[in-house]
Amino acid sequence: MTGTEPLLRVTGLEAAYGRARVLFGVDVTVGPGELLCVMGRNGVGKTTLLNAVMGVLPPTGGTVVFDGEDVTGVPTHERVRRGMGYVPQGHETFPQLTVAENLQVTLEASRHRDKGAIDEALEIFPRLKEFLGRRAGFLSGGQQQQLAIARALVTRPRMLILDEPTEGIQPSIVQEIEAAIERLHKENGLAVLLVEQYLELALRLADGFVIIEGGAVQRAGTAEDLHDEEVKRLLAV
Ligand SMILES: Nc1ncnc2c1ncn2[C@@H]1O[C@H](COP(=O)(O)OP(=O)(O)OP(=O)(O)O)[C@@H](O)[C@H]1O
Ligand SMILES: [Mg+2]
């Protein structure tokens, strides 16, 4: 891979639920170390886009190239092994397993199986250290979200793909999650594809953004362009 080649290149991606088409040709690229924010109103297809990128929902058209390789037909778990760390909307964890077990099973499914990855993830979310023996289902929503991101980190991803990681979470933990994403991006140089509806958070974190509307990217730009009136109009409820 050359320095100018994007880490993720999504071209003409189409997705549908049965006959209901949601995405009509989405183009998105994320460079190495870049944080790209995917924005758009409720129900425009942001989650559908991430699921199609990960192969959770097989796309009906278009291609997904990760790290120079076409992964469009590759199973989701194999994409994870190749470095696409996905944290779906709604902080998914194994609720019956403890925090430690959640991290351990993820490590066992990872390509590297290096125990140090668990300590690294706990270093990013130190609050989780207090709850290692607690079942994930008994954590607060914000703690579960931290665990969900920590699990993705245990796989040592090259790119983190996050679907509204601060949605419905108490403000103090929102700050911790935002700080963790910022640190992973700025200090560790991790590429991030972040679905986020809040303009303020996107302004603080993103290098670039795309706005989805009508099944395609209606607007793309750098963080500064987020101040434009047209952007506000596209995001207004
Ligand atoms: N499993 C499904 N079956 C049928 N339709 C679905 C399914 N999941 C989503 N949809 C529809 O597809 C469209 C896009 O949904 P999606 O969840 O991708 O939007 P979103 O932008 O992520 O919304 P939000 O901001 O609320 O998370 C919506 O009209 C939704 O109702
Ligand atoms: Mg969504």
Quick one: pLDDT at residue 234?
87
Looking up residue 145, the CATH number of its domain turns out to be: 3.40.50.300
Backbone angles phi, psi at 65, to 5 degrees: -115, 125
Examine residue 145 and state whether it is found in any structural domain, yes or no.
yes
Cα–Cα distance, 46 to 54 (Å, whole number) = 13
Task: Please tell me the distance between residue 167's alpha carbon and the centre of ligand 2 in angstroms.
Answer: 10
Query: How, if at all, do strands 208-213 and 216-222 pair?
Result: antiparallel
Q: Encoding tokens for residue 89?
A: 């909307």
Examine residue 171 and state whether it is found in any structural domain, yes or no.
yes
Examine residue 2 and state whether it is found in any structural domain, yes or no.
no
Q: Are 157 and 85 in contact (CB under 8 A)?
A: yes
Atom 7 of ligand 1: nearest residue by CA position: 17
Give the model's confidence band at 145: pLDDT under 50 very low, under 70 low, under 90 confident, else very high. Answer: very high
- With 70 as the cut, is the pLDDT of residue 2 above it? no
Ligand nearest to the CA of 235: 1
Quick one: pLDDT at residue 97?
98
Examine residue 3 and state whether it is found in any structural domain, yes or no.
no
Q: Is 7 in the pocket of ligand 1 (CB under 6 A)?
A: no
Cα–Cα distance, 174 to 149 (Å, whole number) = 13
- With 80 as the cut, is the pLDDT of residue 237 above it? no
How many structural domains is the chain composed of? 1
Examine residue 226 and state whether it is found in any structural domain, yes or no.
yes
Q: Is 133 in the pocket of ligand 1 (CB under 6 A)?
A: no
Question: Which residue range is the domain that position 150 belongs to?
Answer: 8-235
Q: Are 64 and 10 in contact (CB under 8 A)?
A: yes
125, amino acid identity:
F
Examine residue 89 and state whether it is found in any structural domain, yes or no.
yes
Mean pLDDT for the stretch of residues 141-156:
97
Q: Is 36 in the pocket of ligand 1 (CB under 6 A)?
A: no
Give the model's confidence band at 98: pLDDT under 50 very low, under 70 low, under 90 confident, else very high. Answer: very high
Query: In the chain, what is the straight-line distance between the N-terminal and C-terminal CA atoms, in Å?
Result: 41
Q: Are 58 and 13 in contact (CB under 8 A)?
A: no
Quick one: pLDDT at residue 10?
98
Mean pLDDT of the chain: 94
Q: Is 46 in the pocket of ligand 1 (CB under 6 A)?
A: yes
Percent of the residues in the chain that have a pLDDT greater than 90, as a whole number: 85
Examine residue 172 and state whether it is found in any structural domain, yes or no.
yes
Q: Is 59 in the pocket of ligand 1 (CB under 6 A)?
A: no
Work out the number of other CB atoms within 10 angstroms of the CB of residue 25: 13
Rg (CA), the chain: 17
Q: What are the tens digits of pLDDT across the range 54-74?
A: 999 999 999 999 999 999 999
Q: What is the DSSP letter of 224?
A: G
Task: Please tell me the distance between residue 39's alpha carbon and the centre of ligand 2 in angstroms.
Answer: 10
Most confident of 87-91, 131-135, 172-176: 131-135
Q: What are the tens digits of pLDDT across the range 165-216?
A: 999 999 999 999 999 999 999 999 999 999 998 888 888 999 999 999 999 9
Percent of the residues in the chain that have a pLDDT greater than 70, as a whole number: 98
- With 80 as the cut, is the pLDDT of residue 4 above it? no
Quick one: pLDDT at residue 3?
54
Cα–Cα distance, 165 to 159 (Å, whole number) = 15
Work out the number of other CB atoms within 10 angstroms of the CB of residue 54: 21
Cα separations in angstroms, 117 against 10, 73, 121, 162, 234: 29, 28, 6, 19, 40
Quick one: pLDDT at residue 5?
87
Q: What are the tens digits of pLDDT across the range 41-53?
A: 999 999 999 999 9
Examine residue 1 and state whether it is found in any structural domain, yes or no.
no
